[in-house]
Structure 1
Amino acid sequence: MKEGRKRYIAELRKQLATLQELCAGAEAGMTRDAAVQLYRLVHTLRGSAPMFGFMRIGEIADKLVRQWEWTQAQEGLSSADMEFLNRFKLAVSEGDALVRQLSVELDIYNQELDLDEKREQAAMAGTALSSGSRLLIIDDDEALRSYLVRRLILEGYQVDGASDVAEAQKLLRQFTYDLITLDLMMHPQSGYELFAFVKEDPTLKWVPLVVLSGRSDVHDKVRCFYLGADDYMTKPFQYEELSARIYSLLKRTKDFERMAFRDPLTGVYNRRFFDHQIQAELQRIQRYPSPISLAFIDIDRFKSINDTHGHHIGDLVLQGLAHLLQHHLRETDVLARFGGEEFVIVLPGSSGDHAQKTIESILRQTHAGPVAQHEGEAYRITFSAGVCEWTEGMTVAEWIKRADNAMYTAKQSGRDRVILYTGQLSDSLSDASSAPEPGAKTVLIADDDRILRSILVSKLQHLPVTFVEAEDGEEAYRVVTTQSVDVCILDGVMPRLDGLGMLNRLHTNNMMPSGLQVLMLSGRGREEDMSKGAQLGVNVYMSKPFSMLELEFKVKQMLGLPD
C-alpha cells in the first residue's frame, strides 16, 4: 500500500501539471476536446484518490467534476460558440482556487509520506536500540508495573520489575541496566531512598533515571532533578510519551558513550573508560566481596602485519580481534583497547584460573579461522596474554603491571599462550635483575618499546649476563649511575630523555662510568647523530630494523665473550 501511494503521488503530479496547463490555455486552446479532457482528469481523480487514502483530494476533485459536468451534455456546444467560451472561462475561473488547493494537498500528502518513512526508519533504529538495552521498572503498583514491563518487552527491551527499594537494590547488584524508571511514593521505603544508592555508586551514577510520580508538585520535581533525575513524568501519563522519552534518553546516552568512551576504530571501550570502570569495579567488590581478574592481551607480531601488508590491514585485524573478544565475553566483562595492539579485559566474578580458561578458549578461536579478510586474502593471528587476579591491598597500577608482566612472560615463552600471574613471577624483569650475581656482567636495555625489550632479553638470555631494563632515558640514567653496567643497549629516541641526551648528561655531570660499552639503536640513520654519538661514547651504532644475529655478535664482542 505504501509503495502504491508513493507511485500514485508521482502520477498525480503529472495529472495536476496537465490540468494546470489546460486551464491556463489561451482562447485558442479552449476547445471541446480540451474541456472533455479536463472533465476526464478530475473525474479520474475523484474515483482513484480515495482508494489510496487521499480523501481530501477526492473531495476537491468532486467539486471540480461538478464544475465541468456541462461538457457531458449530448448536444454539446461547439468550440466556436460564444456560450461555450463563456462556460469554459467560468469553469476555469471558479475552479482556479480548487486547482491551487489540489496542489497544496498534494504537497501535504507528500510530506506525510516522507514523515511516515522517517518514522519507520526511526522505529527500525529504535528496535536495534531496544534489542540491546535492559531496563528496570521500580513501582509498587503491581498493575502499572506489569503493564509497563509487558509493553516495553513488546518493543524489544529486556525488562525487569521491582516492587520496592530492597528488591531494586538486589537487581541492580545482579544486572547491568541501561535505564531505570522509579516511582517516588512506595512503601515501606520511598523512591527517594534509592537516589543515594544509585547516584553514589560509580557503576550506576551514569545510568539514566526517569521518575514516575503521582505528584505534580514543583518542589518534588526540582528536588528530583537536583538529586540526579534525568526526566520526570506525572501520573497518569500516555504510554507512547514515556516510550518516546525512554528512546530519546537511551539514544542520547549511547551517542555520548560512543563519542566519549569508545575507541573509534574497534568500537570497544577506550582507555578513558577503562580507567574509570576499573576503579568502579574495585569499589563494588569492596562492598560486595567477590573475585575479579584482569587480562592483558597483545597481538603477536603485529608490527610485521603493518610492515608487510600496510596499516589498513592492521586496522582490519584490530577490528576482527575486538569483535572476536566481544563475541566470547560476558555482558558483565569490560573490554577496552589499551593502546596500539593491546587490549585489557576486566572479568568481575572470575578467579584467576577461571579467567585464564576464558582467555585460552578465545585464543583457540584465533586458531580456528582468520580474524580478517580483504580482497580474497585471509589474515590469521595469535595473541599473548597475561592474567592476574586482584588481591586485597593491591593498587590498580600494581594489578595492571602484574598482568602486563605475565603477558611478557607469555611472549618470552614463545607467544600464542596465556600466562596466569603467580607470586613466583617477578613484578618486573628489571626488578628480577636489579641484584646481579657477584662477578656476573650486566646488560642494560633502555628502550621505550616494551616488545622490543622483551625480544632482546629473549634472544640474549642464553648469554651469561644479568639484564636490567629501562623504558626511557631518565630511568637509564638512574640505573647507570647507581649500579654497575657493562653494556648499555640504548635507543636513540625515547620519551622524557633520549639516548643522546642521557649520554650527554652523564658527561656533563662527570658520571660516565669507565669501561661502559654503548650500543645505540635508532630508527634515524643521520650522519650527525652518528657523529655526535661517537663523541659521547657510543661504541656501536645500529639502525632499526637490524639483524638479531648481528646484534648478538656485537654484544658478545663488547662483553668479551667467545663467539
Structure 2
Amino acid sequence: MRQTTPEERIRREEKLMKEGRKKYIGELRKQLAQLSELSVIQEADMNLDIALKLYRLVHTLKGSAPMFGFIRIGAIAEKLVRRWEWAQDLELLVIQDNLIKNEFQTSLAGSTDLMQQLSMEIDIYEQELDLDEQQEQMSKRAPMMALGSRLLVIDDDDVLRSYLVRRFKLEGYGVDEARDVPEAKKLLREFTYDLILLDLMMHPQSGYELFEFVKEDPTLKWISLVVLSGRDHIHDKVRCFYLGADDFITKPFQYEELSARVYSLLKRTKDFEQMAFRDPLTGVYNRRYFDHQVKVELQRIERYPSPMSLVFIDIDRFKSINDTYGHHIGDLVLQGLAHLLQNHLRATDVLARFGGEEFVIIFPGMSGPQTLKVVESILEHARCGPVAQNEGQAFHITFSAGICEWSNGMTVEEWIKNSDDAMYTAKQNGRNGALLYSQGMSAAETTGTVTVKERKKTILIADDDRILRSILVSKLQHLPVSFVEAVDGEEAYLILKSQQVDLCILDGLMPRLDGFEMLERMKEESNKPEEVRILMLSGRSREEDLTRGLQLGVDTYMHKPFSMVELEVKVKQLLELG
C-alpha cells in the first residue's frame, strides 16, 4: 500500500479545513439568528436562564470560530463573553430579579454594536469562501470590475470603514482609508486616486471641509466623489451636488448598490477620458491632456518643490517608412514605439503624443541627468529589436530625444522649446541619441557642449545564418558598439532606411533579397546613407562578385570562412575605433 506523501497530506488537510469552514459558516448563521432572537426579548422575560443561553452561545463562538480560521469572529465573541460572564458567576446564587434585569439590560445595550460587527464579519468570511471556490473566475472578473482603480474611503466609523475597505479589496480595487479630514488630505497629497468615498458627518471636521480642498485643487478636481451620509436631508443633497459631488448615498445602504454606483462612475469617467484625452491611434495621452497636465505638474512643484524634466522624442527617418511601406506601416510603428515607451515608464510619468511622429514625456521628481539615463535605456531597447511586425516582416526604428529640466522662471513654452531644441541638435549630431539641453543651445546649432555620453556606433549584422550572427556578436561585443540583426535582405533594407547604422556586415547570399540586390535597390532609389560602411561576406570568391560589390558601395570584402581577428581589425578600421 502506497504511503501518503507530506504534500498529499497537506492538500487533504487543506481540503478538509475548507469543507469544515464552509459548513461552520452555516452554523454561524444559525447561532447568529439565535443571538438575534434572544436579544429582542421583552423586559418581563429577562431572566438568568436566557442570560445563560446567550453566554453559552457566545462562549461557544469564542472557542470554535478561531479553530476554523475565523479569527475576527472569535475576537468579537470574546468581547461578548465578557459582557455576559456575570450570568455564569450568578448561576449558583439566589439573586433578586431586579438585579438580573439590570445586568441583562446593561449587557444587551453593550452587545448591539458587537452583534452588528459579527454579522458583517460573517458576510465577509462567507464571500471570501465563495471567492476561494471560484478563484479562476474571480481572477478574470476582478480586474474588469475594478478597472485598475484606486479608492480612498474617508469615514470616522471604524467598523463601517473597515468593512467597506475589505469589501472593495475583494473586488480587486486598490483601497486606502482615512478616519478624518487631516489624514485624508495627507493621503491625497501623497497618492493618486480615481474615486473618493466621503462620510459627510464626521468629527471634529465634517466632510464639507474636504470639498473645497478637493474641488479647488487642479490636481484633484477631476476625482470622482461619492458622499455617504446618515442624514437624508434634501438640503445636504443639493449642497453636495452644487459643491461638486458625483453621487449621494444615504446610510444605511446595501453594499451591492454602492459597489454598482462606484463601478458605473469609474467606467463612465474612464470612457470620457478615453474620448477626450487619449490619442485614438496609440492609446497614450493626446496634446490636449498634455497641455492641461503640464500646468498641473508645475503647480504641484510650486507647493512641493522637486525636480522635474521634459523629454521631446522624434522618430528617426519616419517619413521614409511612410513613403516606402505606406501609412498603415507607419501607424504600426507609432503604436509600437508608444507601447515600448509606456512599458518603461513609471505610473507617475506622463506620456503624450505631441503630433505626427513626436512624443513628449513629463518626468516628475527626476532631474535632467536622471531622465537622460532613463531615455538612453529606452533607446537601447528600441535598438535591440523591432517595434512592429507585419506579415512576417519586422520594422526597426531609432529615435532622437531632447531633455530639459524645469527651472524657476521658465514658461511652459520655453520648457517645450528647450526640449525640442535639444532633440533637434540630437538629430543634427547623427540621430539615434539623446541630449540634455544646455544653456544657449538652439535649433540652429549642430554642435556645442552637451551633457551626454558619446553615442555608441551601431553595427547591423545581416545574415540568414543565426549561428554566424551569434558568433559575430560574441566576438565583437567588447567593442563600444551596439548591434542590430536582420535575417534577410528585406529586413536589412528597412533597418538601413529607418535608423542610423554605422557599419553593415552584409551576407552576399540571403533569402528574399540578397546582399547585392539590396545594395542595388538602395542605389537605384538613392537611399544609401553616405555614413554607412559596408563589409560584405560571401562564400564565393568570384572576381565579378568583388567588382560588383565595389561598384555598389562595398567598402571591404571578406570570404567565408574568414579569420575573426582579421574581421575585428577591419571593423575597427571602418568605424575608426582606434
The TM-score with structure 2 as length reference comes to: 0.53
CA distance in 1, matches of 2:139, 2:268: 16
Three-state SS of the structure 2 residue aligned to 1:325 is helix
CA distance in 2, matches of 1:411, 1:199: 43
Shift of 1:285: 1.0
Task: Give the aligned partner of residue 241 of structure 2.
Answer: 225
CA distance in 2, matches of 1:373, 1:548: 23
Q: Which is worse superposed, 189-198 or 255-264? A: 189-198
- For the pair 1:410 / 2:426, whether they are aligned, the reply is yes
Q: 1:94-243 to 2 correspondence within 5 Å?
A: 127-128=143-144, 130-243=146-259
CA distance in 1, matches of 2:198, 2:437: 44
CA distance in 2, matches of 1:349, 1:172: 17
Kindly indicate whether the alpha-carbon contact (under 8 Å) linking 1:131 and 1:158 is maintained by their aligned counterparts in 2.
no
Q: Deviations over 1:76-102 (max 9, x none)?
A: xxxxxxxxxxxxxxxxxxxxxxxxxxx
- For the pair 1:351 / 2:367, whether they are aligned, the reply is yes
Q: 1:291-440 to 2 correspondence within 5 Å?
A: 291-423=307-439, 425-429=440-444
Instruction: Return 5+ residue gaps in structure 2 as ranges.
Output: 1-135, 449-524, 530-578
Return the letter of the residue paired with 1:393: G
Shift of 1:136: 0.9
Q: Deviations over 1:85-140 (max 9, x none)?
A: xxxxxxxxxxxxxxxxxxxxxxxxxxxxxxxxxxx999967632515111111111
Shift of 1:225: 0.4
Instruction: Return 5+ residue gaps in structure 1 as ranges.
Output: 1-119, 434-544, 550-563
Return the letter of the residue paired with 1:318: L
Task: Give the aligned partner of residue 268 of structure 2.
Answer: 252
Shift of 1:297: 0.5
Shift of 1:187: 2.3
Shift of 1:369: 1.3
Q: Deviations over 1:396-415 (max 9, x none)?
A: 00000000001011111111
Return the letter of the residue paired with 1:380: H
After superposition, the Cα gap between the structure-2 partners of 1:206 and 1:278, relative to the gap in structure 1 and judged at 3 Å, is same
After superposition, the Cα gap between the structure-2 partners of 1:143 and 1:315, relative to the gap in structure 1 and judged at 3 Å, is same
Return the letter of the residue paired with 1:302: F
Kindly indicate whether the alpha-carbon contact (under 8 Å) linking 2:310 and 2:363 is maintained by their aligned counterparts in 1.
yes
Kindly indicate whether the alpha-carbon contact (under 8 Å) linking 1:129 and 1:251 is maintained by their aligned counterparts in 2.
no
Kindly indicate whether the alpha-carbon contact (under 8 Å) linking 1:270 and 1:338 is maintained by their aligned counterparts in 2.
yes
Q: Deviations over 1:34-79 (max 9, x none)?
A: xxxxxxxxxxxxxxxxxxxxxxxxxxxxxxxxxxxxxxxxxxxxxx
Q: Deviations over 1:274-300 (max 9, x none)?
A: 001111111111111111111101111
CA distance in 2, matches of 1:157, 1:262: 23
After superposition, the Cα gap between the structure-2 partners of 1:361 and 1:431, relative to the gap in structure 1 and judged at 3 Å, is closer
Q: Deviations over 1:344-377 (max 9, x none)?
A: 0111111111111111111111122111111111
Q: 1:469-484 to 2 correspondence within 5 Å?
A: none
Shift of 1:226: 0.4
CA distance in 1, matches of 2:310, 2:292: 15
The structure number with the bigger radius of gyration is 1
- CA RMSD after TM alignment: 2.6
Q: Deviations over 1:122-166 (max 9, x none)?
A: 996763251511111111111111111111111111111111112
Three-state SS of the structure 1 residue aligned to 2:201 is coil
CA distance in 1, matches of 2:446, 2:374: 30
Task: Give the aligned partner of residue 301 of structure 2.
Answer: 285
Return the letter of the residue paired with 1:168: A
CA distance in 1, matches of 2:381, 2:160: 46
Q: Deviations over 1:373-431 (max 9, x none)?
A: 111111111111011111111100000000000101111111111111122x4244289
Shift of 1:548: 12
After superposition, the Cα gap between the structure-2 partners of 1:313 and 1:406, relative to the gap in structure 1 and judged at 3 Å, is same
Shift of 1:184: 1.2
CA distance in 2, matches of 1:407, 1:331: 24
Task: Give the aligned partner of residue 58 of structure 1.
Answer: none
Kindly indicate whether the alpha-carbon contact (under 8 Å) linking 2:282 and 2:334 is maintained by their aligned counterparts in 1.
yes
CA distance in 2, matches of 1:300, 1:122: 45
Kindly indicate whether the alpha-carbon contact (under 8 Å) linking 2:181 and 2:210 is maintained by their aligned counterparts in 1.
yes
Three-state SS of the structure 2 residue aligned to 1:429 is coil
After superposition, the Cα gap between the structure-2 partners of 1:286 and 1:339, relative to the gap in structure 1 and judged at 3 Å, is same
CA distance in 2, matches of 1:122, 1:315: 36
Return the letter of the residue paired with 2:444: L
Three-state SS of the structure 1 residue aligned to 2:284 is coil
Kindly indicate whether the alpha-carbon contact (under 8 Å) linking 1:293 and 1:347 is maintained by their aligned counterparts in 2.
yes
Over 4 Å off, 4+ runs: 120-126, 430-433, 545-549
Kindly indicate whether the alpha-carbon contact (under 8 Å) linking 1:137 and 1:161 is maintained by their aligned counterparts in 2.
yes
Three-state SS of the structure 2 residue aligned to 1:329 is coil
After superposition, the Cα gap between the structure-2 partners of 1:122 and 1:227, relative to the gap in structure 1 and judged at 3 Å, is farther
CA distance in 1, matches of 2:138, 2:177: 27
Task: Give the aligned partner of residue 60 of structure 1.
Answer: none
Return the letter of the residue paired with 1:362: I
CA distance in 2, matches of 1:128, 1:300: 38
After superposition, the Cα gap between the structure-2 partners of 1:318 and 1:125, relative to the gap in structure 1 and judged at 3 Å, is farther
Three-state SS of the structure 1 residue aligned to 2:353 is strand
Kindly indicate whether the alpha-carbon contact (under 8 Å) linking 1:135 and 1:179 is maintained by their aligned counterparts in 2.
yes
Q: Deviations over 1:516-549 (max 9, x none)?
A: xxxxxxxxxxxxxxxxxxxxxxxxxxxxx99999
CA distance in 1, matches of 2:164, 2:138: 21
Three-state SS of the structure 1 residue aligned to 2:228 is strand
CA distance in 1, matches of 2:435, 2:224: 39
Kindly indicate whether the alpha-carbon contact (under 8 Å) linking 1:333 and 1:345 is maintained by their aligned counterparts in 2.
yes
Shift of 1:233: 0.4
Q: 1:477-496 to 2 correspondence within 5 Å?
A: none
* Paired residue total: 319
Shift of 1:167: 1.5
Kindly indicate whether the alpha-carbon contact (under 8 Å) linking 1:126 and 1:247 is maintained by their aligned counterparts in 2.
no
Kindly indicate whether the alpha-carbon contact (under 8 Å) linking 2:197 and 2:228 is maintained by their aligned counterparts in 1.
yes
Return the letter of the residue paired with 1:340: G
Q: 1:40-79 to 2 correspondence within 5 Å?
A: none
Task: Give the aligned partner of residue 126 of structure 2.
Answer: none
CA distance in 2, matches of 1:125, 1:300: 42
Shift of 1:254: 0.5
Q: Deviations over 1:476-507 (max 9, x none)?
A: xxxxxxxxxxxxxxxxxxxxxxxxxxxxxxxx
Return the letter of the residue paired with 2:165: V
Return the letter of the residue paired with 1:252: R
Kindly indicate whether the alpha-carbon contact (under 8 Å) linking 2:153 and 2:177 is maintained by their aligned counterparts in 1.
yes
Q: Deviations over 1:223-242 (max 9, x none)?
A: 11000000000111111001
